[in-house]
Structure formats: structure tokens, C-alpha cells
Structure 1
Amino acid sequence: MITGELKNKVDRIWETFWTGGITNPLDVIEQFTYLLFIKQLDEVETKREADAAVLGYEPDRIFPDDAQEYRWSKFKNLGDSAKMYALIQNKVFPFIKNLHSDSDSAYSRYMGDAIFKIPTPGMLSKVVDGIEGLGLDEASEGGDTKGDLYEYLLSKVATAGTNGQFRTPRHIIKMMVDMVQPNPGDTIIDPAMGSAGFLIEAQTYLREHHSDLFMDDAQREHFNNTMFYGNDMDSTMLRIGAMNMMLHGVENPNISYRDSLSEFNTDEEKYSLVLANPPFKGSLDAEAVASSLLKVTKTKKTELLFLALFLRVLKKGGRAAVIVPDGVLFGSSKAHKQIRKEIIDNNKLTAVVSMPSGVFKPYAGVSTAILFFTKTGAGGTDKVWFYDMKADGFSLDDKRQPVQENDIPDIVARYSNLEAESSRKRTEQSFFVPVEEIKKNDYDLSINEYKEIEYVPVEYPPTEEILSNIDALESEIQAELAELKKLLKK
């Protein structure tokens, strides 16, 4: 979450775009992102040079010898805004558009129609100075300030609520990835990828827990070319996602401009892991939806159709960790029951983690949950683990300030050792519910349907004692009131 001085700095950059004539919020985000990308390419190059100097080898270069002037650290100090403008417009921007040697790559496809829209040298100079002053250094520090920046910028888009363009908080993404534990053999998809946050976190997990995969030619080839897939219908998000993946060292992610729910998406039993927070934007035109999805749940609601899609695109044995609005858990319509029945009866539902409504504030206040399930095609659900998340490490109001209370470490630890959860009581934050009970409850997956509240009896003083205390308090009030009146008469 961007707050305080950093937020004020970003607002000033936004105002520079606005007063300079770039008033479409998505145009602002796009131009902002291009410059951030140029800066971060230089940071990545600098880090490579430092590592190579320590280890004594020649680094892989982003900027060849004849393009060193294209680096942020070089042109930011030119001192002549007109020269810097000409350099960026005529050389640096074409350079980043053609950065990937493979013309069929996602990066090349979505950067191909990128346009540099900053109109004047003076405006460019102000924006470059503003970005330099942000103190962003994600490439070397491994943080997610850039992701937080996208989240804040997207909050300025008036249509973001209807388009579903809300970035899932990184700590929630990390929790989900830590729970499903991606492995080097996985093929991972986010069918509503946005800026590729889930894919970025998955590759980070693999680098941290399976670093040996880069020593194997086949695994390294898979990681760079056939492991990561993402779909979106917003070209800006696709460009941001492609740049994001490239900055994080994934050479050729499979990112596509695609309506994942349409007939044109023919993916079936292709992926071993789905990570997603699909849009909850209401209803779609049923005629535009793939008939294979409508067979599973006849509905126009996107959140239900995406669940049917996840089941279709997963291989047998493939697993999913996906965010859904609470209504999916207990909705009483035929379509709601159909999709829950499909997941529970014909596949294996492992867990339901209910999250507090403040997780997506200040951009949305909807209550959500995370479903963890495995595609089997032959059932397998015997009991379902429920967890009632009450805190995620941030206040649950619009400010979302860091707080001590945080259930996430407990959730990850317990999920990794579900055998030990069998003895938990339903008065605790996590517990198992047998599938027979869920079926009897019309496949309701709301944790409130199953948790038990432990009532502690409260003992009150006798009535006579309470009345006596009230009388004494009343006498005290009257005495003090009389004293006040005497003082006022003087």
C-alpha cells in the first residue's frame, strides 16, 4: 500500500501528466510504466554487472556497448531536456519496443503497438525527475513497490470497479502460492492475469525453493518458455504483465489477449496449476460464453463460469487456488449449487479459507474466500478444511495500516500439515467438516454454517446490589449538580 510521502510524490507525477495534456488515466499508467520499465532495466543491468564483477565473469547485457547512452542512469543526467527528449523518443523507446529478439514473444506482440505519448521535453524532464525521486529499487531489493504503485494508479481509474482491475494484495498472493507450493514440473495459468502478480510470485517461489532447476537444461527451458500462461482483455495490462515478467527474468511467458470464458478459448486439460482472482463483475451475455462451461453451470455470473473454466483447463491431478466472492459459497441458485456440487462430488475440494471483507479495501469491500481444489474427475472429497481468517497483518479499514495481528503464517503452517488438524474443535479458527455433512447442508461452504460459538456464562451481581449502586450514583450526581449551581450564583 502506497501511503504518506510516496503517495504525495506519485500524485505530483500524475498531476504533471494531467496538466501536460495526458488526461486518460490508462494512458497515464501506460506512459508511467514505460519509464519505470526503462529505469528498472538499468537497475537489472547494474545488478548483473555487480554480480559479474564479484564472480569474475562477463555479464549478459541488456544494453550493448553502443546503447549505453540509453540507460536511465546516463540520460537522467544529460542536463538538457530537449536532448533527453529526443534520445528517449527516437532511440530509447524504439529500443525497449524491440528488446526481445523473438518477434513472436508476448513481449514483442504487446509492445509492438506501444506509443510514446509524452508531448514535450519539459514534461518528460519533470516526470523523469519525479520517478527518480520515488526511491523505487525493486530490482535490487526484491520488494513489490512497483506492484503497490500499479494498485494505487489503478485506483485512480474511474472504471476500475466495473472492469475488475484491482490488483490482489501481494501478501495474499504470496500466501496462496506458499500453500500450493509450485514445483519445476508445473504448468501455471492465471486466466485473468492483470499485471501478472500471481505468475510473478510463482516464479519467485520457484527461484527460492527450487533454484537447482536452472542447472537442468530441460527444466530451465520449461521455466522460460512453457511454464507460465496468462490471459487478459486489457492491452495495457498485457503490456504491463509482459514487462513485469521480463523484469523478473522469465524470458518468454505465454501471455495472450483473450476472453478466457469465450468459445475462442479452447484450452482443455492443459495446466497443472491455476492461480487466480477472476473478476466479479456481474453478468455476461450467455451467447458469448463457451458452451462447455454452461454445461457445468448454466449462468451468466462470471465468478461461477470461471470456476467451471478452471476445472476444464486443469489436467487430471492439477490443483487450483482461487479467490471467489462469498456468494459462491452459499448462493442458493441452481447455478451456484451446480458448481459447488461439481467441485465436491466430481473432484476434490481440500480447503476453504474465508477472508475478512477489509482485505481489498479501499478499492472494494466485498467479502471473499479462497478455494483450494484438485481436479480428479472422479471425486475424492472426504472432508474439507475451513479456516476463519480474522486478520491479515493490516488494518481492515480504508487506510490498511500494518498491525500486529496476522493469521497468514498460521494458515500456511496448518495447511502444510493438515493431518494434525483432525483434532481441532469447531470453536477454533480452523477445523475439518466431513463431506457428508456438507452435502446434507445443500453443499453450503460458508464457514458460519459449521463453526460453533462457545458461550461463556456471565454472572451479574444481585438486582438489589445493582439498584443500590444506581441510587448511590444518582445521589452523587445530584450533589455535584447542586454544588455547580451554587458556584454559578456567585
Structure 2
Amino acid sequence: MLSSEVRNRIDRVWDAFWSGGISNPLEVIEQITYLLFLRRLDMNQQREENKARRLKRPIVHAIYAEEQRDLRWHVFIEQDPQTMFATVSDRVFPFLRTMGGERSSYAEQMKDARFTIPTPVLLAKVVELVDAIPLDNTDTNGDLYEYLLSKLASSGVNGQFRTPRHIIQLMVRMVAPAPDDRICDPACGTAGFLVAASEYMREHHPQVLSDPDLRARYGTDMFHGYDFDHTMLRIGSMNLMLHGIENPNVHYKDSLSEAGDEDEDRYSLILANPPFSGSLDYETTSAKLLKRVKTKKTELLFLAHFLRMLRPGGRAAVIVPEGVLFGSTTAHKKLRKALVEEQRLDAVVKLPSGVFKPYAGVSTAILVFTKTDAGGTDDVWFYDVHADGFSLDDKRNPVDANDLPDVLARWPHRGESSERNRPRTAQSFVVPKKEIAEQDYDLSLNRYKEIEYEEEEHREPAEILADIDALNTSIAADVTALRDLLR
């Protein structure tokens, strides 16, 4: 989470844009993101230059050539406002649009990037403010997006918000990405899941950076993302590049349309929290997808799409609205039955309803499953998350209560007796497939959780009435005594 000081600095940048005449919240976020990206690019090159000097060798991954020195952040911020404005608009932005190479997906997304800051004075002001924001911590970049997007949500623009970083990290750690994975988020937004997967890969499989073949695959083909919002695609591409993905494989696509048909059996790992907007027209939806599940509910269509995207043996950790777990329509039941009987459903992790505040207060759950096309579900592990380390109100302040470490501690042991023998009154427990089938494949945790009631002992009515009589007698005596004093 960002400190209050950093949030205040972002607020000042935001206010500067609005007072300078840019009132569209999405445009403000995009322009701030460009400036943050330019600053991080310069910081990354400075880090590479320092490493090259220490090792006494040429710089390995140069972002700027020597003749492009004046395009670097630390250089142009020293210029006077008029010169800076000309440099950024005439040279820096053309460089920004093409730096990934003409055929790269980055260039595809950035071709429409526009510099819309209207005056040299406003540019100088926001550059000065952005330069004061601490970016040394790699987590700060994503947290900045999250805070910026909270402003977008509060401005009334629907459907744009990030999954909280700690929830993303929980899901990534549960599925444990490996170097041979091909990972996809078909509704990637700012690419938070892909960034977290790349960070996990570097931490747990450092050979992806040292082995030449793995390094090439890490930078080009390991991570894939789709979205139908060009602005989010640009932000996602920049986010991935800043995290070492040289050629982000992020493309425009409506995953539920016929364009999504080409992704069948392509990926070994799906990480996603797609936008669930309720319903859509059949005309815009893939006919092949509708054959799998006849519905207008986007949450069900996305779940069916995840199953067709995975290759056999592939796994997924995805967020779904809680209604998917117990909905009574034919489509709801068909999908749940397919997960349990045809694939291997590993876990249902119920999240508290405040996790997505201030954007929304909906109840959600994480589904973790493996595509087998041959069944394999013996038991399903349930976990009831009560607290995620933050208050469950709109402020989402840090608190001590946090069940997520316990989720990760118990997850590897879900098939062992330590978990299988836990009572249904506990936060985590295991339910056999046979029992789930008997419950018409209802996956709601409350269907199986047992509530323990404490027995209370009550006094006999006659004893209570006797106490009341004694109390009334005492009150009457006190009233009589008070009257005698007043005579």
C-alpha cells in the first residue's frame, strides 16, 4: 500500500491536471502513466549503466542510444518549460511509440499514444511533481496504478479496477508458475497478474534470466494478455516492459467473441479476474463458446472460456462472483458439474465481500482447477477467508487480522490427513466429490460449513419471578422511606 505522503503527491499531480484543463479521468491517468514510464525507463538505464561500470563491460540492455541522451528524464526535466515541452512532444513521444520495434505488440498498442498536456507550464508542473514520487521499490509501480484507478472508479467510469496486489500474489503462489508454463490473462487490464507471475518466476526460478533460451522465452512468449480497452493495453504493456518483459505479448481482443476461438488449448496457466458486467448479446459471442454453455451471463462464459483456453494438464486460478458457486440455472449447474466431474476442481477460496472496496462490495471466490478432460476430482478443499490484512470498508486500512498466510500454509497439505480430518466448523476443510454431487454440485462454502452454537443455560422462570418480586419490594420500601423524609 502507498504511504499517505505518496498518495498526497499523486493527488497534487491529479489536481494539477484538472486545474490545467484536463478533466477526463482516463486521460489524466494515461498521461501520468506515460510520465511515470519515462522516469522508470531512465532509472532502468541508469541502473544498467552503473552495473556496466562496476563490471567494466558495455551496457547489455540499452534503452537509449548516446545520441538520444536528451530524451532521458533526468536531462529534459532540467530544461526550461518551453524547451521541455518541445522535446517531449516532438521527440520523446515519437520515441515512446516506437521503442519496442515496429512489429512488436508494444508498438501495436502505443501507436495511438497521444501527448495531450496542453501547455509548457502544466508539463513543467506535473513533471516536477512526478519527479518527487519515490519509485525505488518495484511494488510502487503497481500500487500507483491501483491508487490512480481508484480515482477512475470514483469518477464513474465503469469496469476499470485492479485486483488488489495481495490477492493476486495469493493466487500466483497457489498455482506456482514454472519456466515451462505459457501464462495468459484474457482480461488483463494493467497486467497485474502477468507482472506478479513474472516476479514469482524470477524469485523461484532465477534460471529464466540466466539461461539464454529461457530468457528469450521469458521476454517474448511466456506471458500473454488480452483486453478490449486500448488505454489499459498501453498501460499493461508499459507495466510489463518495466518488469523485464522486453516484448510484451499483449493484444486487443474481445475474449468472448469469435476472436477467442483461436486460443483453444494454447495455455498451461490462466490467471484472471475478468469484468463481470452481467449479460451480453448472443450476437457478439462466439458460437463455439455458446455450444459449451448457453447463457448471456459473462461470468459463466468466461469460466467456460478459461476451460477451452487451457491445454490438458493446464491449471487456473480465477476470481468469480459468488453466484457462480450456487446459481440454479441450467448453465450454472452444467459448468459446475463439468468442473467437478470432467476436470479436477482443486479449491474454492471464499473471499470477504470488502476485498474489492472502494470499487465494489460484491462477494467473490477464487476457483483453482486443473484441466484433465478425464475427471480427477476426489475432494475439494474449501477455505473461508475472514480477513485479508486490510479493513473491509472503503478505506481499506492495514489491520493485523490476515488469513492469507494461513491459506498458503495449508494449501500444500490439502490432501493430507491434517486437512482432511479438520472439522467443518474450521476455516478450511475438505469435502468429498460424492457429497458435492449429492448437493447438485453446489460449491458455496456455506452449504458444507457447520456452525457451532454455544449452549446457554437459563435460570428457571420461578427463580427469575422471585427476584423480580424481591426487587419490587425493595423499591416500594425505598419509596416509602423517601415519602417519610419529605413530610
- Normalising by structure 1, report the TM-score: 0.92
Q: Is the 8 A contact 2:178 2:201 kept in 1?
A: yes
2:115 is the counterpart of 1:109:
no
- The worse-fitting range, judged by mean Cα deviation, of 337-346 and 3-12 is 3-12
Deviation, structure 1 residue 50: 3.0
Residue in structure 1 matched with residue 484 of structure 2 by the alignment? none
1:246-304 CA deviation, whole Å, 9 max, x = no partner?
A: 01000112211010000122211000000000111011111211112112211011100
Residue in structure 2 matched with residue 125 of structure 1 by the alignment? 124
Q: Is the 8 A contact 1:26 1:157 kept in 2?
A: no
1:201-224 CA deviation, whole Å, 9 max, x = no partner?
A: 000000000001223222222211
Change (3 A) 1:473 1:366: farther
Residue in structure 2 matched with residue 97 of structure 1 by the alignment? 97
| Partner AA of 1:111 in structure 2 | M
Aligned-residue sequence identity (percent) comes to 54
- The worse-fitting range, judged by mean Cα deviation, of 50-59 and 256-265 is 50-59
| 1:173-252 superposed matches below 5 A | 173-252=168-247
Residue in structure 2 matched with residue 445 of structure 1 by the alignment? 443
2:364 is the counterpart of 1:380:
no
Q: Is the 8 A contact 1:316 1:375 kept in 2?
A: yes
Q: Is the 8 A contact 1:136 1:145 kept in 2?
A: no
SS of aligned partner of 1:27? helix
- The worse-fitting range, judged by mean Cα deviation, of 454-463 and 438-447 is 454-463
Residue in structure 2 matched with residue 335 of structure 1 by the alignment? 331
2:150 is the counterpart of 1:152:
yes
1:402-432 CA deviation, whole Å, 9 max, x = no partner?
A: 0111111111121122223111111111111
- Alpha-carbon distance between aligned partners in 2 of 1:8 and 1:142, rounded to the nearest angstrom: 14
Residue in structure 2 matched with residue 344 of structure 1 by the alignment? 340
| Partner AA of 1:243 in structure 2 | M
2:398 is the counterpart of 1:397:
no
Instruction: Specify which of 420, 423, 432 is matched with residue 421 of structure 2.
Output: 423
Deviation, structure 1 residue 323: 0.1
- Alpha-carbon distance between aligned partners in 2 of 1:471 and 1:431, rounded to the nearest angstrom: 51
- Alpha-carbon distance between aligned partners in 2 of 1:138 and 1:471, rounded to the nearest angstrom: 71
| Partner AA of 2:63 in structure 1 | I
2:320 is the counterpart of 1:324:
yes
- Alpha-carbon distance between aligned partners in 2 of 1:355 and 1:474, rounded to the nearest angstrom: 52
**Runs of 5+ in structure 2 lacking a partner?**
481-487
Residue in structure 2 matched with residue 411 of structure 1 by the alignment? 407
Change (3 A) 1:142 1:462: same
Deviation, structure 1 residue 143: 6.5
Q: Is the 8 A contact 1:2 1:152 kept in 2?
A: no
Residue in structure 2 matched with residue 37 of structure 1 by the alignment? 37
- Alpha-carbon distance between aligned partners in 2 of 1:66 and 1:185, rounded to the nearest angstrom: 39
Deviation, structure 1 residue 378: 1.2
Q: Is the 8 A contact 2:186 2:227 kept in 1?
A: yes
Q: Is the 8 A contact 2:150 2:358 kept in 1?
A: no
2:281 is the counterpart of 1:285:
yes
1:117-160 CA deviation, whole Å, 9 max, x = no partner?
A: 11100111111122123333344x77643333343343244122
| Partner AA of 1:327 in structure 2 | G
Change (3 A) 1:468 1:407: farther
Change (3 A) 1:468 1:343: same
1:302-329 CA deviation, whole Å, 9 max, x = no partner?
A: 1000011011110000001000000000
Q: Is the 8 A contact 1:138 1:145 kept in 2?
A: no
Between the two proteins, the alignment pairs up a number of residues equal to 479
**Runs of 5+ in structure 1 lacking a partner?**
483-490
1:162-202 CA deviation, whole Å, 9 max, x = no partner?
A: xx211000000000000000000000000000000000000
SS of aligned partner of 1:316? strand
Residue in structure 1 matched with residue 136 of structure 2 by the alignment? 137
Deviation, structure 1 residue 474: 8.5
Q: Is the 8 A contact 1:138 1:146 kept in 2?
A: no
Change (3 A) 1:480 1:348: farther
Q: Is the 8 A contact 2:345 2:369 kept in 1?
A: yes
SS of aligned partner of 1:416? helix
- Alpha-carbon distance between aligned partners in 2 of 1:234 and 1:198, rounded to the nearest angstrom: 17
- Alpha-carbon distance between aligned partners in 2 of 1:373 and 1:84, rounded to the nearest angstrom: 52
- Alpha-carbon distance between aligned partners in 2 of 1:249 and 1:138, rounded to the nearest angstrom: 15
| Partner AA of 1:105 in structure 2 | S
Q: Is the 8 A contact 1:138 1:144 kept in 2?
A: no
| 1:60-79 superposed matches below 5 A | 60-78=61-79
Q: Is the 8 A contact 1:386 1:432 kept in 2?
A: yes
Deviation, structure 1 residue 473: 8.3
- Alpha-carbon distance between aligned partners in 2 of 1:218 and 1:479, rounded to the nearest angstrom: 96
- The worse-fitting range, judged by mean Cα deviation, of 239-248 and 450-459 is 450-459
Change (3 A) 1:466 1:91: farther
Change (3 A) 1:146 1:473: farther
SS of aligned partner of 2:196? helix
Q: Is the 8 A contact 1:356 1:367 kept in 2?
A: yes
- Normalising by structure 2, report the TM-score: 0.93
Residue in structure 2 matched with residue 488 of structure 1 by the alignment? none
| Superposition RMSD in Å | 2.5
- Alpha-carbon distance between aligned partners in 1 of 2:473 and 2:38, rounded to the nearest angstrom: 76
Residue in structure 2 matched with residue 300 of structure 1 by the alignment? 296
1:51-82 CA deviation, whole Å, 9 max, x = no partner?
A: 3334443323212222222222222233x111
Deviation, structure 1 residue 343: 1.2
Residue in structure 1 matched with residue 432 of structure 2 by the alignment? 434
| Partner AA of 1:308 in structure 2 | A
| Partner AA of 2:203 in structure 1 | E
